[in-house]
Amino acid sequence: SVICIHVMSLLLLFTPISWSHDSLTPGCHLYPFNVTIRSDRRGTCKGTHLVYACVGYCESSAFPSRYSVLVASNFTHNITSASRCCTISKEAKVKVRLDCPQGRHHNEIEILTAKACRCDMCRKSRY
């Protein structure tokens, strides 16, 4: 009997390797996480893999808008902000092997992991 595993029905559990504010260094950098993927809520088939996320902070600023901006916005845009967010600059696919009870069936699923991080313009679509 073959167990079908649909990507949409997989459960992802993220567990940081060690999570303390002391271990976070300033800036934007790679941070390791263990990800556990389960085929269903009972965890009939599951696998774990080490992946990386981008965490940290980037410099942002806010300042009074230039006069030309004030005029163009009918004097409603009086503060201009320049925001940068810590985001993935390079990613890679990794294969996670899902093991099932009694070794009946093995399946692999590809997930993404961060390979490099950078401070970049903040975009709503990324979060």
Top-confidence residue, 44 or 56 = 56
Q: Model confidence at 89, in pLDDT bands (50, 70, 90)?
A: very high
* Cα dihedral 114/115/117/121 (nearest 10): -60
Averaged pLDDT, 52-78: 92
Convert the pLDDT of each residue in 12-49 to its tens digit.
454 554 444 444 556 999 999 999 988 877 778 889 99
The answer to whether 127 and 34 have CB atoms below 8 angstroms apart is no
Top-confidence residue, 18 or 52 = 52
Convert the pLDDT of each residue in 97-113 to its tens digit.
888 887 666 788 899 99
Convert the pLDDT of each residue in 1-15 to its tens digit.
333 333 333 444 545
User: Closest Cα partner for 111 from 56, 53, 54?
Assistant: 53
Residues with Cβ within 8 Å of residue 12, at least 6 apart in sequence: 35, 36, 37, 111
Domain residue spans in the chain? 7-57+90-120
Distance (Å) of CA 56 to CA 7, 29, 43, 86: 29, 6, 32, 6
In this structure, what are the phi and psi dihedrals at residue 17, rounded to the nearest 5 degrees? -65, -50
